Amino acid sequence: MKNKITYSLITCLFGMFIFSCNVHEKFTQPEIEIQETYTDAAADSSSFSDVDWWQIFNDSMLISLIREGLENNLQVQNMATSIKQSELQYEIAKTMLIPAVNYGGSASTSANSLSSGTFKGSVAALANVSYTLDFWGQLTNQRDAALEAYLATEIGYHQVKATLVTQIASLYFTLRDIDNKIIVAENMIVNMNDFHDIIGARYRGGFVSKVDVNQSEIAVKDAEVTLESLLRARGQLENAISIVLGSAPKSIPRGLPLEQQIITSEMPLGVPVYLLQRRPDLLINEKKLKAQLRMIDATQALRYPNLTLSLDVGAQITDPSMVFTELAADLLGPIFNAGRINKSISVQQEEYNILVNNYIQSYYLALQEVQDAVIAIDSYQNEFEIKKQKLDLSQEALDLAWVRYEEGVTTFLEFINLQNSLFSAQLQASDSYMNYLQSVVKLYLALGGGWEYEAYVDAD
């Protein structure tokens, strides 16, 4: 009679399983009102963001340093470990959907006062198979949430690598800028020492005053102070680059000088918004939204009954002919804890709302980064051209000032001021070109270029 009731219950519940529906809400991407393009010119910039990172630089030494960083950077290695952890969590979640098989054994002995010295004992071994029927998709949703978390970790790995590439490139361009400024400062010191020797000879001949000698010497000292600050910055920057490369502080090898550094890929004139969909950080936030939606579904499944089937098969070791089997079904459903479950669902829903806001905010920030980089590229290009013109004018003015000074038309102070103006113009021109190169690198990162992203874009 007991077996008939058990089988009837199982048959009934299997019928429920056949006609039931899993709790699985379809993911809908949050709506964001944005323009189709964020620049006045409508151009296709996919060619720039599609190329691999090593194709946008023309300096083989820079490419070598980037490869070294990708291989040895400790943060990249930690992300690779995190991917392994996330993959294992996903594999664990998948095992919840398959039957669990366990083994066990028992032994007992007994004695009583009527049969002194006589013991009765038994030793049994058994195997247990249990399986929870996922009627409402609780386990399936937990598995899917783990999958989205795993994919988010993988995308995060690409994000760390893309960020590392741009970081190394930016630091390298800064280093070449400092190298260039050191050359400018050294040349300035040589030139000013030459003028100082001329002024010193004229002072000894009684043609100029001690003031001119002092002014020329002050100009030399100013250039020497600038040189020392540049040497200090170069050494500290090499140490910083070494750490990013995943090594102890060391000397960084150089490739092309700053003025020969160019971006080989064609720059985009317009930035279609769809390109932002390939940014790793946006895809990570989307995966987090999907994972949280699955957690909401899994929590909602707690409202419904849960059925677990269990099968025990065993035998008495002391009497192998004695075999036993037991099939059981456990049904568990909520009655008085609906309020707690509903509040748990609300907590998960509020977390989803937070993630939606984070997603929208990250999208706006992405648009800002792209637009800022486009503006910076155009601005620094124009600024560099203006400063080159200023450099030519400063050199011409300095040459004329020396002629005027030799003719006695002007003071040596005017010449020194123009010499300092030329020095400043040379340093500023170097700054502008470095900033232009770094802005191109920032745009490349802002567009999420240089990695295969299609495998992570799906329709839920």
For the chain, percent of residues with pLDDT exceeding 90: 36
- What confidence score (pLDDT) does residue 207 get? 86
- What confidence score (pLDDT) does residue 320 get? 65
Beta-strand relationship, 100-110 and 306-316:
unpaired
Structure tokens at 68: 């070294």
Q: Work out the number of other CB atoms within 10 angstroms of the CB of residue 266.
A: 11
Q: pLDDT-derived band of residue 167, with 50, 70 and 90 as boundaries?
A: very high
Task: Supply the DSSP string of 14-34, one letter for each residue.
Answer: HHHHHH-----PPP-PPP---
- Tell me the mean pLDDT in the region 317-326: 70
Tell me the pLDDT tens digit for each residue of 207-264: 888 999 999 999 999 999 999 999 999 999 999 999 999 999 999 999 999 999 987 7
- What confidence score (pLDDT) does residue 132 get? 75
Q: Is the pLDDT of residue 270 over 70?
A: no
What is the spatial distance between Cα 74 and Cα 393, in angstroms, rounded to a whole number? 48
Structure tokens at 128: 């247990």
Tell me the pLDDT tens digit for each residue of 336-395: 777 888 888 899 899 999 999 999 998 889 888 888 998 999 999 999 999 999 999 999
Instruction: Please say whether the beta carbons of 165 and 67 come within 8 A.
Output: no
Main-chain phi, psi angles of 31, to 5 degrees: -80, 130
Q: pLDDT-derived band of residue 300, with 50, 70 and 90 as boundaries?
A: confident
- What confidence score (pLDDT) does residue 459 get? 46
What is the spatial distance between Cα 236 and Cα 231, in angstroms, rounded to a whole number? 9
Which one is predicted more confidently, 246 or 91?
A: 246
Nearest partner of 367 among 252, 240, 275, judged by Cα: 275
Residue 121, beta-bridge partner list: 109
Q: Is 308 exposed, middle or buried (0-12, 13-18, 19+ CB in 10 A)?
A: middle
Ramachandran bin of 392, using left for φ above 0, alpha for ψ from -120 to 50, beta for the remaining angles: alpha
Cα within 13 Å of Cα(306), Cβ side = 16
What is the spatial distance between Cα 289 and Cα 274, in angstroms, rounded to a whole number? 19
pTM: 0.79
Beta-strand relationship, 323-332 and 306-316:
antiparallel
Burial 13-41 (b: 16+ CB within 10 A, else e): beeeeeeeeebbeeeeeeeeeeeebbbee
DSSP state of 448: T
- Tell me the mean pLDDT in the region 39-64: 70
Quick check: helix, strand or coil at residue 303? Answer: helix
Query: Domain-by-domain residue ranges, the chain?
Result: 23-99+136-305+338-456
What is the spatial distance between Cα 323 and Cα 328, in angstroms, rounded to a whole number? 17
| pLDDT, the chain, mean | 81
Q: pLDDT-derived band of residue 5, with 50, 70 and 90 as boundaries?
A: very low
Which one is predicted more confidently, 193 or 407?
A: 193
Instruction: Please say whether the beta carbons of 44 and 442 come within 8 A.
Output: no
CATH class of 23-99+136-305+338-456: mainly alpha
H or E, element range at 317: none
Angle at 361 between CA 376 and CA 244, to 5 degrees: 60
* Residue whose tokens read 């594999």: 91
Nearest partner of 445 among 376, 361, 366, 378, judged by Cα: 366
Tell me the pLDDT tens digit for each residue of 222-235: 999 999 999 999 99
